[in-house]
Structure 1
């Protein structure tokens, strides 16, 4: 009786462990290092970096006074620019005050023909741009290799960002 009990529970344990390992292998790996190019004087950029790090990302902050050159290097059109540019190790570009959860979803999905994401300008209430309880709805657009864009996420409330 004890051997049958032991064998049955051993088999169940092994099957459970196999399922966990298989699930972990099927789930896309999220590489969490972002290089963040920002102005050394920008406080909202530093707050966005804090937001990203609190969500589990690791950052390498590169302070520069040549942000326009960085944005040109990564082919970010002027109408999609913001105050900082982050780049993942896979080469995806994240321009502006994008919520960490949106970046995580993007990195898991890795949409075909995508270059990255952008939140143009500096919407009040977006991560790093918090001002009391003020909030301005905004779009996160996906930047595509052919230079076009499409809406990736619509953020209508501060709660949607977390």
Structure 2
């Protein structure tokens, strides 16, 4: 997972991925992440704070673990990954006590 250097919510997201998938997550502080995102085909309007590559698929931002698992299990034709733009409150890694979760698609 390439993240904006030092981003703490990315650590939380990585911990959830590790717990749910049972895999180690290598965290790379990437000062040039925009170039990495571009190389992976992530549109700028879908940018978030981290970009993960799992089994060849790209996951941008705080994508729910269940959606990642479904995409990885089915590898839908023409789908190269999933993205959640920004940092929606309540999404994986962005859970905050007392804060209402934001809806997102």
Where in structure 1 do 4 or more consecutive aligned residues deviate above 4 Å?
A: none
Structure possessing the higher radius of gyration over alpha carbons: 1
Deviation at 1:132?
Answer: 1.4
Deviations 1:53-75 (A, max 9, x none): 11124212222111111111111
* Partner in structure 2 of residue 76 of structure 1: 42
Let me know the Cα RMSD of the aligned residues.
Answer: 1.1
TM-score (norm 2): 0.91
- Within the candidate set 120, 135, 140, 2:101 is matched to 135
* Partner in structure 2 of residue 48 of structure 1: 13
SS at match of 2:38: helix
Say yes or no: does 1:101 pair with 2:56: no
SS at match of 1:60: coil
* Partner in structure 2 of residue 86 of structure 1: 52
TM-score (norm 1): 0.61
SS at match of 2:27: strand
Higher helix share: 1
Extract unaligned runs of 5+ from structure 1: 1-35, 140-162
Extract unaligned runs of 5+ from structure 2: none
Query: Could you tell which deviates more after superposition, 71-80 or 58-67?
Result: 58-67
Higher strand share: 1
Deviations 1:69-122 (A, max 9, x none): 111111111111110000123x21000001111101111111001110000111
By relative contact order (CA 8 Å, sep 6+), the higher-ranking structure is 2
